[in-house]
């Protein structure tokens, strides 16, 4: 890449009109700021973007209130020594429409390429190699894809690509019948020509709207209530029509990939990121042998302000946030412990997310079956003054919670 070329990244963070499946955790914190492996969800794609050559800026695009992201944006900008800006939509414009709405700001550095990522995607984000492939292809856009089981493929955008050239030949979003086991990962790199493609969709939609207005005003009104003229979807309005026209290409990853739609999946994705730390951020993983520090099994993150008793046993897949207190004999596995939680002596927690300021008493037992895809596979305590019973008639009070706020 020549020195004159610049790259920008746009990360779609959504907003409060969505994310109901992430409750009760999203009641207290914007979903993109919920910690996975000790870092805010959005921090992982941001860190990946930092590795892109000649990256000029990162934009977070959504419709949360700006104050909810102000502190994080300031902190991450200072940490990375790179401008990170939050762009608030006045209303939802669609995955492509939002990009177009802020086109002048996104293009102010005259970038040669624009990355577009979805915040609720968990993967290794192979962005530099994806950019190299995109430049070899010579098209307008390249999308990250992965193979999944045929049974689960219809939950995503399915596609067909040329096995030799990697050109996108066909794309359909969540089809009713099986098309392919190759799916869209929600990570893209485009040239600025993407704005022309979105503009063309706007023109076509306005033209159809005008025809409807002339022929049947009431029909037009009904249609535009659900999909406004200025609402453009990347999948249905851009990817599907341009497939097979030598404009779009695919880059396949064989590494991990998940969508973070529910609290249960956040627990699984925390596990994936913790495992990735072994290769990217080994200093973030805790160590201990049960003498001066707690016994650590597998991948565990402990915030520096947390206090963990040396007789506790943690792991695998444990993330402990700020100001947490873990007592003697506590056993934690496959769990996320949020800020200011107190876990007293000999408590047991597995397959669970323990919410802010919760308190688990001595010998309490909090667990679930660990099926991240099921509604009851993860025990959740939201932000509360929850206090699990300590002892009951000199026997262990074993409480199996399903889903509690």
List residues bridging with 350 in a β-sheet. Answer: 333
Single out the residue of 236, 239, 237, 230 nearest to residue 93, CA to CA.
230
Return the higher-pLDDT residue of 264 and 170.
Answer: 170
In this prediction, residue 383 has a pLDDT band, given cuts at 50, 70 and 90, of: confident
pLDDT of residue 18: 53
Compute the average pLDDT of residues 202-209: 69
What is the set of domains in the chain, with CATH numbers? 7-259 (3.90.550.10), 263-396 (2.160.10)
Q: Is residue 221 pLDDT above 70, yes or no?
A: no
Q: How high does pLDDT run on average in the chain?
A: 86
Rg for the chain, CA atoms, rounded = 23
pLDDT of residue 333: 96
172 Cβ contact list (under 8 Å, min separation 6): 157, 158, 159, 179, 240
Say if CB 338 and CB 320 are below 8 A apart: no
The helix-helix angle for 217-226 and 193-215 (nearest 10°) equals 140
pLDDT of residue 397: 35
pLDDT of residue 17: 61
13 Cβ contact list (under 8 Å, min separation 6): 30, 32, 42, 60, 61, 62, 64, 69, 119
Q: Is residue 24 pLDDT above 90, yes or no?
A: no
Beta strands in 112-167 (DSSP E): 113-118, 121-123, 141-147, 157-161
Separation of alpha carbons 197 and 100, rounded Å: 10
pLDDT of residue 381: 83
- Collapsing DSSP to helix, strand or coil, 173 comes out as strand
In this prediction, residue 210 has a pLDDT band, given cuts at 50, 70 and 90, of: low
The pTM for the full model equals 0.86
Separation of alpha carbons 143 and 159, rounded Å: 11
Separation of alpha carbons 64 and 145, rounded Å: 28
In this prediction, residue 229 has a pLDDT band, given cuts at 50, 70 and 90, of: low
Q: Is residue 388 pLDDT above 70, yes or no?
A: no
In this prediction, residue 384 has a pLDDT band, given cuts at 50, 70 and 90, of: low
Side-chain-side CA neighbours of residue 344 (13 Å): 13
Q: Is residue 35 pLDDT above 80, yes or no?
A: yes
Three-point CA angle 46, 51, 52, nearest 5°: 95
pLDDT of residue 372: 78
C-beta contacts of 295-303 below 8 A and 24+ residues apart: 297/333, 299/271, 299/274, 299/275, 300/274, 301/37, 301/38, 301/274, 301/277, 302/38, 303/38
Separation of alpha carbons 168 and 244, rounded Å: 6
Separation of alpha carbons 190 and 140, rounded Å: 6
Separation of alpha carbons 400 and 351, rounded Å: 11
Say if CB 50 and CB 1 are below 8 A apart: no
In this prediction, residue 395 has a pLDDT band, given cuts at 50, 70 and 90, of: very low
Separation of alpha carbons 345 and 8, rounded Å: 49
| Residue-wise pLDDT tens digits, 141-166 | 999 999 999 988 888 999 999 999 99
Q: Is residue 185 pLDDT above 80, yes or no?
A: yes
- Collapsing DSSP to helix, strand or coil, 47 comes out as helix
In this prediction, residue 398 has a pLDDT band, given cuts at 50, 70 and 90, of: very low
Instruction: Name the phi and psi angles at 138, rounded to 5.
Output: 80, 15
Q: Is residue 224 pLDDT above 60, yes or no?
A: no
Residue 38 falls in which region: left (phi positive, over 0), alpha (psi -120 to 50) or beta: left
Place of tokens 């033209």: 207
Q: Is residue 65 pLDDT above 60, yes or no?
A: yes
Token duo for residue 146: 């992965």
pLDDT of residue 2: 47
Q: Is residue 330 pLDDT above 50, yes or no?
A: yes
């Amino acid at each position: 890449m020549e020195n004159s070329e610049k790259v920008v990244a746009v990360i779609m963070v959504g907003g409060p009109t969505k994310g109901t499946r992430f409750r009760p955790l999203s009641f207290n914190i914007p979903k993109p700021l919920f910690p996975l492996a000790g870092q805010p969800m959005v921090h992982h794609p941001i860190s990946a973007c930092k590795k892109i050559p000649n990256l000029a800026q990162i934009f977070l695009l959504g419709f949360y209130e700006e104050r909810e992201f102000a502190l994080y944006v300031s902190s991450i900008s200072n940490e990375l020594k790179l401008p990170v800006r939050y762009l608030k939509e006045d209303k939802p414009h669609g995955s492509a429409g939002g990009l177009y709405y802020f086109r002048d700001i996104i293009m102010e550095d005259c970038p040669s390429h624009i990355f577009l990522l979805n915040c609720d995607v968990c993967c290794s984000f192979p962005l530099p190699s994806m950019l190299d492939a995109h430049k070899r292809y010579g098209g307008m856009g390249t999308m990250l894809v992965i193979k999944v089981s045929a049974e689960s493929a219809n939950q995503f955008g399915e596609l067909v690509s040329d096995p030799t050239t990697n050109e996108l030949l066909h794309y359909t979003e969540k089809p009713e019948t099986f098309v392919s086991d190759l799916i869209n990962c929600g990570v893209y790199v485009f040239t600025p020509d993407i704005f022309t493609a979105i503009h063309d969709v706007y023109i076509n939609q306005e033209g159809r709207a005008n025809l409807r207005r002339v022929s049947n005003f009431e029909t037009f009104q009904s249609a535009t209530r659900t999909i406004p003229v200025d609402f453009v979807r990347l999948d249905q309005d851009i990817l599907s029509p341009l497939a097979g026209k030598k404009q779009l290409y695919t880059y396949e990853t064989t590494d991990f990939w998940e969508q973070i739609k529910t609290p249960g999946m956040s627990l699984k994705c925390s596990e994936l990121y913790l495992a990735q730390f072994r290769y990217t951020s080994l200093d973030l993983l805790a160590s201990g042998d049960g003498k001066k520090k707690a016994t650590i099994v597998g991948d565990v993150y402990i915030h520096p302000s947390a206090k963990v008793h040396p007789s506790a046993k943690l792991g695998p897949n444990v993330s402990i946030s700020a100001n947490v207190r873990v007592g003697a004999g506590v056993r934690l596995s496959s769990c996320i412990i949020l800020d200011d939680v107190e876990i007293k002596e000999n408590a047991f927690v597995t397959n669970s997310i323990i919410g802010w300021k919760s308190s688990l008493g001595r010998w309490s037992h909090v667990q679930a079956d660990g099926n991240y895809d099921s509604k009851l596979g993860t025990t959740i305590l939201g932000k509360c003054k929850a206090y699990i019973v300590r002892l009951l008639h000199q026997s262990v009070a074993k409480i199996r919670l399903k889903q509690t706020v």
